[in-house]
Amino acid sequence: MRKIDKRIKQAGLLFFLALCGAIFFCYILFNGGVVIDFLKKLILILMPFIYGFFIAYILNPIMDFFESKIVYPLYSKIVKSKKSNKKPYRFISVILAIGFFLLFVYALIIMIVPQVIESIQSIISRCPAYINTINIWVNDVISNNTDLAKVLSPYTANVEEWVINNVLPALQSWISNISSNIIGGVYSTITQLIKFIIGIIIASFLLANKEVYCAQAKKIVYAALREERANNLINNARFANKTFGGFLNGKIIDSFIIGCLSFIVITICQIPYALLVSVIIGITNIIPYFGPFLGAIPTVLIVLMVDPKKALLLIVVIFIIQQIDGNIIGPKILGDSTGLSSFWVIFAITVFGGFFGVFGMFIGVPVFAVIYAAIRTFVNERLKKKQLPDATSYYLDSDYHSDDDNTNTGKEIKFVKKTFENIYVEGKGKQVIVTIDKEETESNNSSDKKK
């Protein structure tokens, strides 16, 4: 009777949860705008904590470096105590990491922001002269090439009319909108700066007590889930942290190197607005695959307005630098941090970029790597329960086939060579008996991951 009562209670609980889920789904379906507005407001309220988590996540390796390589060795020599008290040298390490971060941000602002603002103001003020330069260059090219002039002569008047009636008024309207939005931009910048400062304070608390917060999260997981599921969730979280953190930190370092290298090469080549162009190239380089193209388009257009010949040179410079990054610098820093093939990288960037824009293109690869790893783990565990090998090489040119009389013990597994007839007629086709070897399976798994 107790077992029956327990089953009735479980069924009732499942029915209640399903009913609550259906009501919640219907509410979201008919009140989607209210839910979206609520989520936006919640994100704005929690923005200091979002900044804090992000800063703490970025600074955690730096703090660990200061703590293990500098602070702890010096502290242990100065304070010769047998008691293991982490608080003093952890506090010093947090201060050094936060100080390093603030110094780095201050250096970027002092070196980059004034010159970038000056470059943008120069571009806006000289925009009509730049358009005139492009017009003169196009006319020179057409006048020196009679065949091209004959081809383009029917369209010249239409292009000039389109530029005068559409492009120039739109450009003037854009400049006036920028001028009118300066006050709102200053207010928004001050608001975000205050939230950012609060985020730095929150990050210092997170860094100082990160082990405690991780232990509290593990307590919640073990209290809510069974042991096996709890351990799987914790292991998956560690894998997600390793994948996401390795990609994020590696990509930031890689983009910083590419930005500095671009600035050096562009300055040597005497290309205009070297610092502005280098900043754009470095920032967009964070996005895999599509980043170089996103960075090349605006930078080439900026230089094209000043000097068309230098714009062609800039295209060559960007192409060479991206080849160096893709074949030398990137693999050295990132390695195989995500474990995804090129196809899945492009898929992740396209999908997440479509939903979340540029930010989605940046986080899409590590997030999808975690999802891909979770699916792969689930599939491999299901195959192991069925006593089937989890190496992909077994399934390339053959299909699994089992007889009703024989059970799969995992020692010998029957695969039938793939033919069209095997789908409908049993027994046809070449049958292969595969003996499972644990070492061979593990080596195949490692080769699959490399692919």
In sign, the C-alpha dihedral spanning 154, 159, 160, 166 is: positive
**Rounded Cα gap, residues 195 and 342, in angstroms:** 38
Region 419-435: mean pLDDT is: 45
85 phi and psi, to 5 degrees?
Answer: -110, 115
Q: CA angle, 54 as apex, 53 and 60 as ends, to 5°?
A: 85
Is a pLDDT exceeding 90 seen at residue 202? yes
Residues pairing with 434 in the sheet: 413
**Rounded Cα gap, residues 5 and 410, in angstroms:** 39
What confidence tens digit (pLDDT) does each residue in 303-353 have?
Answer: 877 777 888 888 898 888 888 887 777 777 765 566 677 788 788 888 887
Is a pLDDT exceeding 80 seen at residue 18? yes
DSSP state of 67: I
**Rounded to two decimals, what is the model's pTM?**
0.64
Tokens 């292009």 belong to 159
| Amino acid 74: pLDDT | 83
Structure tokens at 11: 């069924």
What confidence tens digit (pLDDT) does each residue in 398-412 have?
Answer: 666 555 455 555 555
Residue pair 379/409 in contact by the 8 Å Cβ criterion: no
Helix (H, G, I), strand (E, B) or coil at 225: coil
Those residues with Cβ within 8 angstroms of residue 438's Cβ, 6 or more apart along the chain or in another chain: none
Q: CA angle, 430 as apex, 429 and 431 as ends, to 5°?
A: 115
Band the pLDDT of 99: cuts 50, 70, 90: very high
Residue pair 55/49 in contact by the 8 Å Cβ criterion: no
Q: CA angle, 52 as apex, 48 and 55 as ends, to 5°?
A: 135
| Amino acid 431: pLDDT | 45
Helix (H, G, I), strand (E, B) or coil at 37: helix
First to last CA, the chain: 56
Distances (CA, A) of 221 to 206, 231, 423: 19, 9, 45
Structure tokens at 445: 């798994």
Band the pLDDT of 441: cuts 50, 70, 90: very low
Structure tokens at 175: 């400049």
**Mean pLDDT, the chain, whole residue set:** 75
State the CB neighbour count (10 A cutoff) for residue 136: 11
